[in-house]
Amino acid sequence: MLKRSAKYAGVILAAIVIVSILNPFFVYHVNRYDPVDFIGYYEYSGVIGVHTKYSDGGLTYSDIGKMADSLNLHFVITTDVNSTEAMKKILEKRYGMTLMIPAVELSSDRGRLRFLVIGDSIPALPQKGISLDSALAEARRKGSLIVACGVPKQADKLTSYHDNEIPFAGLEIYNFSRSLSGMVSITEVNKLFGAFLDYTMDPRTLNYLIHYPKDKMREFNKLNDQRRIVGIATSTLPPNNVLSKSGGVRFPSYESELEFVHTIIVTETPYSAQYSHDRDLTINAIKRGHMYIAFSGLEPARGFYFTATSGDTTSIMGDSLRLEGTAKLRISLPDSGDVETRVLKNGEVIEKYRNVGTISLAVNTPGVYRVEVYQNRTVLPLFMERSYPWIISNPIYIYKR
């Protein structure tokens, strides 16, 4: 009996290895392109939540700036854990064309309670005599954006997490490094192995690791039913990941992490050569939710368009819009391959579109409207089709007085 079980286990293991080896050759890769600009607005791609060696990150502040510039990122917001060193020191404000904005992650309870504090004022750090609650409330009073990260299971220890007055107005929907660490398991190791094989042929493609953050999106929808919440994605760049650098290979590379998932802001005015103007433009767009999350490691997503018009007023992501009879939702996608667009109201899908690049949808009821776009890829075994999230928009809030 034991021999037979071992034989079956060996066959299954061999099948997993073979499928993992073959998968990269059968995944449908969309050709990269030069996307169009957001009509009437400007778009800037960036990475939020990067840790540096000022805390527990794997790269120095300057390393990140130079690398981000080589990858054509428009901005990077660093958020070192319980460290304000990057905010206090006189550091480079730009590396090439990449805008660098230092911020802070306030953390306690051994990292289980985490909040990003993004703004101009240097926040107080949790320590003896200063609770996390009071530090966050003070940062909010000074105008900083507070983003909650990884909090729900510990929510009862922090009353402000479910307090509508203080202190947070943003939610971390996706964290690349934490998502990756969660894949080091028996059920996910096949995807991880397939991703590594694909990575050896294209170091900046990690398609196998993309998944829809169900729990985070459920929390995001729930909070948006109560009040306006901004959704962002982060990547922490830890010193060690699945495979450390050995024999010239580090998986994933820091470059691929910076390219995997982006927060893309939408602005009415362009960047300039003035640091304070561009920093304020970036932070204000994030505060207002004028942005969307894009898994750019799958394919660049700049050029995504989502607005709502009612009467003479047009609103973009993060805005509120008064309903006058009907409102017209307009969605436009960058040129791509096999995609599915989903329009959601209050967290529920109300319409689906397959391979439609421009969408116009009339709605006549108030609600919280969002858009999600998925790319469909053919993978083994049995050439099954898998859907990968590509774009997750922030909401437009349509109300009726």
Output the DSSP codes for 190-210. HHHHHHHHHHHH-TT--GGG-
Here the CATH number for the domain that contains residue 287 is 3.20.20.140
Domain count, the chain: 1
Q: In terms of residue numbers, what domain contains 62?
A: 42-301
Q: Are strands 243-246 and 94-95 parallel, antiparallel or unpaired?
A: unpaired
| pLDDT tens for each residue of 295-351 | 988 888 888 989 999 999 999 999 999 999 999 999 999 888 889 999 999 999 999
Q: Cα(first)–Cα(last) distance of the chain, in Å?
A: 71
Question: How are strands ordered across the β-sheet holding 358-363?
Answer: 313-316, 305-310, 327-332, 358-363
For residue 75, is it within any domain? yes
Quote the pLDDT of residue 36.
44
**226, HSE (Cβ side, Cα atoms, 13 Å):** 11
For residue 149, is it within any domain? yes
For residue 17, is it within any domain? no
Quote the pLDDT of residue 302.
87
- Cα distance between residue 304 and residue 53, in whole Å: 34
For residue 146, is it within any domain? yes
- Cα distance between residue 348 and residue 288, in whole Å: 23
- Cα distance between residue 11 and residue 374, in whole Å: 34
What is residue 127's DSSP assignment? B
For residue 363, is it within any domain? no
Quote the pLDDT of residue 330.
95
Q: Point out the residues of the chain with pLDDT beneath 70.
A: 1-3, 6, 10, 12-39, 109-111, 150-167, 184, 186, 202-205, 240-249, 379-383
Are residues 259 and 71 in contact, defined by beta-carbon separation less than 8 angstroms?
yes
For residue 50, is it within any domain? yes
Write the secondary structure of 115-126 as one string of H (helix), E (strand) and C (coil).
EEEECCCCCCCC
Alpha-helical segments (H) within 208-355? 214-226, 254-260, 275-288
Quote the pLDDT of residue 244.
60
For residue 79, is it within any domain? yes
For residue 373, is it within any domain? no
Task: Tell me the whole-structure pTM to 2 decimals.
Answer: 0.87
